[in-house]
Structures are given as C-alpha cells and as structure tokens.
Amino acid sequence: MLKKQYQDIIPQTSATFRESKIGVVVGLFNRELTESLEKKCIATLKNAGISEDSITVAHVPGAFEIPLACQRLAQTKKYNALIALGVIIKGDTYHFELIANECARGVMDVMLKHDAPIVFEVLAGSREDMEKRCGDDEYNKGIEAANVALLLLKELPNLL
C-alpha cells in the first residue's frame, strides 16, 4: 500500500521494480513489534512488484547488530537497496541511548562507505509509541520503510 505522500512519485507498475533486489535486516529483540514491521515491509515491496525471491531477510539478535548485517549485505553488491528494521524500547538507563545512537551511526557509516542506499527504520522510544508505529494499520513504519526504498530505487539512478 502506497502512502498518500508517495502515490504521485512512486510508480505503481510491477515492471518498474521487477529486477530490483532488496535486503531487509531485522532485529529480533522486541520481536512482537519487529515482526509486524517486517511483515508490512515485505508485503509493501511485493505489492510493488518485487518478487519474494528478490527479497532477502536477515535476522539479527538486536539493534546493535543491524549495522554489521547491513555491511555484510552491502559488501556483496547484490542489492539495489537495504532496509534496517528494529525497535529499541526506552528504559530507565542510558543503555537505550547508547544502542539507538550507535545503531544509527553504524548504519550511516555502512551506507556511505559502500555507497549503498539503506532505509533506516530502527525505531526508538516508549513502548506505547512503538506499539503505535508497529500496529496493524497504514501507520506501520514497515510500510514507510518499503515506500522509501521504492522511492530510492526510482530516484537514485537519476542523480549524478
């Protein structure tokens, strides 16, 4: 399902993305939430015409391991885009900030080092906020991640 802000800029024909290969890295910590992100993301990619065989899903223990998995996938040069999905719940200690910040920095480093587009939807916040963003509706951030990847597939080839 394309969100309204993407409907005019992302082609809705399956032929546009037929040859695209997407890697999706999913943190398993808070699995009851990341599973929803993963399912909605994959469904959105498939609805756009990307075949299941062209989508590779890599599961890692948690958000801290996401950059390494993205790096491994980027090194293969087989993927047109990568998507990082995870959920970090804010607790009472500084650990939340450490994991969130280092995950974001690590994914950015991989993206720039390998010149590989990586959509970053590693969510961080309160459990209540995360449940809203991982719900079974059109506001699920897995849908957003897939739409951003599709937009990147369409627009990046046109950049210098």
The pLDDT of residue 92 is 87
pLDDT tens sequence across 10-61: 655 556 677 899 999 999 999 999 999 999 999 999 999 999 999 999 999 9
Strand ranges for 90-152 from DSSP E: 118-125
pLDDT tens sequence across 106-141: 999 999 999 999 999 999 999 999 999 999 888 899
Is residue 95 among the annotated active site residues?
yes
d(CA 25, CA 59) in angstroms, rounded, equals 6
What residues does 124 pair with on adjacent strands?
A: 88
Query: Which residues are annotated as part of the binding site?
Result: 29, 63-65, 87-89, 92-93, 120, 133
Longest dimension (CA), the chain: 48
Query: Which residues are annotated as part of the binding site for (2S)-2-hydroxy-3-oxobutyl phosphate?
Result: 92-93, 133
Supply angle C-alpha 69, 47, 17, rounded to 5. Answer: 70
CB neighbourhood size of 98 (10 A): 12
Whole-prediction pTM value? 0.92
d(CA 52, CA 48) in angstroms, rounded, equals 11
Catalytic residue among 18, 39, 95, 127: 95
Does the domain formed by 40-158 have CATH 3.40.50.960? Answer: yes
Nearest CA among 83, 121, 122 for reference residue 100 = 122
Say if residue 2's pLDDT is above 60: no
